[in-house]
Amino acid sequence: MAEHMDPEEFRRAGYAVVDWIADYWTTLGQRPVTSQDPPGAVAAALPAGPTERGEPVEAVLADLDSVIAPRLTHWQHPGFFGYFPANTSGPSVLGDLVSSGLGVQGMLWATGPACTELETVMLDWLAGLLDLPERFRSTGRGGGVIQDSASSATLVATLAALHRASKGRWRVDGIDRRYRAYTSTQGHSSIEKAARIAGLGADGVRAVEVDPRTQAMRPEALRTAIEADRAAGVTPAIVVATIGTTSTTAVDPLPEIGAICAEYGVWLHVDAAYAGAAAVCPELRWSHAGLEHADSYCFDPHKWLLTGFDCDAFWVADRGELIEALTVMPEFLRNAATESGAVLDYRDWQVPLGRRFRALKLWFVLRWYGVEGLRAHIRTGVALADRFAERIEADDRFELAAAHPFSLVCFRLRAGDEPNAELLRRVNDTGRVHLTHTRVEGRYTLRLAVGSPLTTEKQVDEAWDLLSAAAEGLLAG
Are residue 378 and residue 314 in the same domain, yes or no?
Answer: no
Q: Work out the average pLDDT over 278-304.
A: 97
pLDDT at position 56, please?
A: 92
Domain identity same for 243 and 271: yes
Phi and psi (nearest 5°) for 37?
Answer: -100, 155
Q: What is the CATH number of the domain that holds 188?
A: 3.40.640.10
Whether residues 223 and 285 share a domain: the answer is yes
The answer on 184 and 331 residing in a single domain is: yes
The Cα–Cα gap between 218 and 202 comes to: 21
Q: Are 199 and 165 in contact (CB under 8 A)?
A: no
What is the arithmetic mean of pLDDT over 228-257?
A: 97
Residue 171's pLDDT band (cuts 50, 70, 90): confident
What pLDDT does residue 177 have? Answer: 82
- Tell me which residue range forms the domain holding 437: 364-476
Same domain, 213 and 250: yes
For residue 51, is it within any domain?
Answer: no
Same domain, 184 and 285: yes
* Of residues 291, 276, 294, 303, the one with CA closest to residue 405: 276
Residue where one domain finishes, among candidates 322, 356, 390: 356
Task: Give tens-digit pLDDT for 317-366.
Answer: 999 999 999 999 999 999 999 999 999 999 999 999 999 999 999 999 99
CATH number where 398 lies: 3.90.1150.10
Whether 343 and 372 share a structural domain = no
Q: Within this chain, do residues 315 and 167 fall inside the same structural domain, yes or no?
A: yes
Of the three residues 356, 374, 392, the one that is the final residue of a domain is 356
Q: Is the bond leading into 310 cis (omega within 30 degrees of zero)?
A: yes
pLDDT in tens, 52-100: 899 999 999 999 999 999 999 999 999 999 999 998 999 999 999 999 9
Q: What is the pLDDT of residues 410-455, one digit of tens each?
A: 999 999 999 999 999 999 999 999 999 999 999 999 999 999 999 9
Per-residue pLDDT of 294-308, as tens digits, reads 999 999 999 999 999
Please indicate, yes or no, if residue 37 is contained in any of the structural domains: no
- In this prediction, residues 1-19 reach a mean pLDDT of 90
449 and 371 co-located in one domain:
yes
Per-residue model confidence (pLDDT) at position 2: 63
Q: How many domains does the chain have?
A: 2
Query: What is the pLDDT, as a whole number, of residue 1?
Result: 40
Q: Which of 105-109, 214-218, 470-474 shows the highest mean pLDDT?
A: 214-218
The number of beta carbons lying within 10 Å of the beta carbon of residue 248 is: 24
9 belongs to a structural domain: no
Tell which phi-psi region holds residue 449, choosing left (phi > 0), alpha (psi between -120 and 50) or beta.
beta
CA distance 216 to 187: 10
On average, the pLDDT of the chain sits at: 95
Specify whether 184 is located in the same domain as 216. yes
| 264 and 374 inside one domain | no
Whether 265 and 127 map to the same domain: the answer is yes
